[in-house]
Chains A and B, each alone.
Chain A
């Protein structure tokens, strides 16, 4: 299996936002979900999720809140904000455009 390219790695933000758009999650759950949806293509160590989350929070795209969970635990849940939603839509559209263009190029048959 080849290494995931930088391009894919750079879309981690996008994936996180997309997953959070479906439902608010805490860090661990998010990491599990990430593995689930992307299979092993994205080799993200659990830890590297946190700098990404905190960066998104500082930028105002997600919002964090401590909430009680099962058996008396507390966890930090991340929500998508209105700004984050707008950003996600824009970036998703961008991604569609670029990936469509690249796939188009790659499908060209050699003469």
Chain B
């Protein structure tokens, strides 16, 4: 329309909006005037007054309808009707506050859980990494596809990496990074010494990611050389924490492992490197060619690094990975040693960061989706029940000309009110849940990326809209169907009415029960896996054992003798502390991690083919370690005091190693030899198996004296009869007395260490269990509701039956069966569906078969039990009915 048109009509529209009442009365007056004139006209043409009035009215038509039709032409009519319906909706809902409250809470739970999970999935799994052009970034790993133990995603050795980098210049830029390093930061200027996680990287690492420093500069090729001056970059959080955001930080000196480094730059607060191998808590970055020993920089057999690549424009990851794979095959031909891997494989950097969280997060999202669906079905079911009890009202309204659309709109608006209030409440829930998650799961990669933003808000609106449609249309469908007469008759003589509506509700219930079964089975399997994991035996008693880790900087403890002297003094003082019942020293305590392995051969056995060997995990231990940690010596003896330094050529092996490598013979007195360097060790004893990770089976392990064999770090293991936590401070004080610059890290009890490595499993299983319980409660409420409704509908019928002599027990079982049918149907759908679903979460399970018969049986039993309990109450009430009272209800 043209401008002139708008100028003219806008005042009209405003008048229509603000002078609604006057417009109404004017319309009335207009119609009255019309009638008066028509009556006058009729009188004039000779009719009697009565006849004149009737004829005029007839000619006019249905005045009420006319008024409605006229009003419909006014502007804002839609809005007005909407507000009107809204008001009616609020009024009808608040007439049954209990129903309203329950429905809103149900919706809030469903919507809240979904919004929270959606936000997490989007932020963690889908949001691009905070680097420039992140979709072109990838990680290249080495891989060993040889059977029977294919191992993809292996870290990279520097030797291979340099060759990759040289030969793929046209395809990609590549950087080397080793995010598993650490430094002792010395105390200076009154600050405490501490152990800080750190990473080594090539000079091009930050420019490759597109990360610019907040202060100073990044590394240059001149920094990344063995003989360059020592330089370091620090993260902004470390800068804030340790240097109080000192703006003059640049060119200050930081003492790492007792050596001075110049700080050349501060990384921006948005920077975080989080990959499948960690790195999210690295706070110091140093140039790799300056830091790593020369041997490590040239070997093909030691895999201490990760390779990050930025693909050149137009090059796909598959192309690059294929090229590197081919290169690595050639490298393997040139270096056939067993430690050199024969292939390579790549994945995008985002995939690398979140790969481990994908299945659990999608599983949780699926669970919350089920809960929301169940919530919607429940609300729909409740609305259907209300529609049924208002059947007569609807029939009367329809017979008086109430439009069908109008009735449907009313149902939709009711469910909109419920969904919107539920959504608002759910948003609060989601916000709280996210705050909790970020707080509780520091360890998760990319947890810092979780934010509630516009898209999450849009998602909330969409969910509210869908819930409204879903529950509103189902109830509208059941309300709008059937002809008016049936409705009126049905409610005037309520014998077996409402059958079709009950059928709809039963179908909904079956679906609800089916989903609940899936959730329960999922939760059951995850819980069982968590239980399995928690109760898996570390190999030593875990109560009242404290571990503390420390490392001696080579710069200050140059000679092996100095290190041995320090360790010996330390452990003697710790043993002397009051409250300590035993203490020992080990390179890595049970559950503390991989900590290195090597290939050995047995001198007494026939020689193995070149390049093959027996894989042992390596542990250094002091003579008192085994009794302190409670590791039983099964045969032989522990080390003697004098088996140290140059004489430290004795080992104890684990039971697994004895069984696997010395089948049917006595290992004691046999000799082990590393396959490349050629030292020889005598086996003097056999000890029990321990796990290096609580979720992994024990590996064959050998223990050699930590006093010797070049150890510069160790974990103190302290056992006490009670309250071992209280010993942490005294032990740290002992360390500080010996060397005030030496920080202590990883101070925790064995129990804490175990729960740290089972937190993923615990988290997933508890959350899914919570969702399953919500679903179960909702389904039970649904069953109860349907049966109560059916009983109320058929009250008169039951009264007649009882009056005619029906058995109460027969009535009870009949009703019970009636209520249980949807539950049975749901169970029949749910069990096979669960069998399919649990296969999808197989990767989350630990020593648990997805099709666990105990879990499936328990779920079926629990569900039937809950269903019977839910149905028993209304069925019991019906069977206790007083026939006379029932017959008088109508």
Interface residues, chain A, with chain B CB atoms under 8 Å away: 26-29, 31-32, 45-48, 50-51, 54-55, 57-60, 66, 73-76, 81, 83
Contacts and interface: CB of A to CB of B under 8 A. Distances in A.
Interface string B559-575: 00000000000000000
B5 interface: yes
Contact of B4 (A47, A48, A66, A83): A83
B38 interface: yes
A60 B70 contact: no
A54 B34 contact: no
B493 interface: no
A6 B481 CA distance: 31
A51 B70 contact: yes
B30 A27 contact: yes
B38 A46 contact: yes
A75 B31 CA distance: 10
Given A47-B62, A50-B70, A60 B34 contact: no
B33 A74 contact: yes
A83 B75 contact: no
A58 B33 contact: no
Contacts of A47: 60-63, 66
B61 A27 contact: no
Interface stretch (B8-16, B264-272, B689-697): B8-16
Instruction: Determine chain B's interface SS by DSSP, over half rule.
Output: helix
Given A28-B34, A50-B30, A57 B12 contact: yes
25 contacts: A28-B33, A28-B37, A29-B37, A31-B34, A32-B41, A46-B38, A46-B59, A46-B61, A47-B63, A48-B66, A50-B27, A50-B66, A50-B69, A51-B69, A54-B74, A55-B73, A58-B13, A58-B73, A60-B8, A75-B37, A76-B29, A76-B30, A76-B33, A83-B5, A83-B8
B26 interface: yes
Contacts of A54: 27, 70, 73-74
B806 interface: no
A48 B73 CA distance: 12
Nearest to B63: A47
Contacts of A75: 33, 37
B736 interface: no
Contacts of A60: 5, 8-9, 12
Q: Which of A28, A48, A59 has the most CB of B within 10 A?
A: A28
Interface of B: 4-5, 8-9, 12-13, 16, 26-27, 29-31, 33-34, 36-38, 41, 59-63, 66, 69-70, 72-75
A95 B16 CA distance: 32
A17 to B, nearest CB: 15
B605 to A, nearest CB: 101
Most B C-beta atoms less than 10 A away, residue of A26, A45, A46, A55: A46
B34 A27 contact: yes
Nearest to B30: A76
Contacts of B9: 58-60
Contact of A76 (B13, B26, B59, B73): B26
Contact of B61 (A45, A55, A58, A74): A45
Most buried by A among B9, B16, B29, B70: B70
A29 B34 CA distance: 9
B5 A73 contact: no
A32 B56 CA distance: 13
Contacts of A50: 27, 30-31, 34, 66, 69-70
Contact of B60 (A46, A55, A57): A46
A75 B13 CA distance: 22
B717 to A, nearest CB: 87
Contacts of A55: 73
A102 B26 CA distance: 42
Nearest to B59: A46
Contacts of B62: 47
A58 B8 CA distance: 10
Given A74-B33, A83-B5, A58 B75 contact: yes
A58 B16 contact: yes
Contacts of A81: 8
Contacts of A57: 12
B886 to A, nearest CB: 50
A71 to B, nearest CB: 10
A55 to B, nearest CB: 4
A2 to B, nearest CB: 22
Nearest to A26: B33
B3 to A, nearest CB: 12
Contacts of A45: 59-61
A60 to B, nearest CB: 4
A5 B74 CA distance: 27
Contacts of B59: 45-46
A57 B16 CA distance: 11
B34 A46 contact: yes
A51 B36 CA distance: 19
Contacts of B13: 58
Contacts of A66: 26
A65 B147 CA distance: 95
A18 to B, nearest CB: 20
Contacts of B74: 54, 58
B65 to A, nearest CB: 8
A59 B73 CA distance: 10
A58 B30 CA distance: 16
A50 B8 CA distance: 21
A47 B30 CA distance: 11
Nearest to A66: B26
B675 to A, nearest CB: 95
Given A47-B61, A50-B27, A60-B12, 10 more contacts: A28-B33, A28-B34, A28-B37, A46-B61, A50-B30, A50-B70, A51-B72, A54-B27, A54-B73, A83-B5
Contacts of A58: 9, 12-13, 16, 73-75
Contacts of B12: 57-58, 60
Top-5 shortest CB links A-B: A47-B61, A55-B73, A28-B37, A47-B66, A60-B9
A58 B75 CA distance: 7
A48 B8 contact: no
Instruction: With a 10 A CB-CB cut-off, give which of A26, A48, A51 has the most chain B CB atoms.
Output: A51
A73 B36 CA distance: 10
A45 B31 CA distance: 13
A107 to B, nearest CB: 38
Contacts of B16: 58
Nearest to A49: B34
Contacts of B26: 66, 76
Nearest to A30: B34
Contacts of B34: 27-28, 31, 46, 50
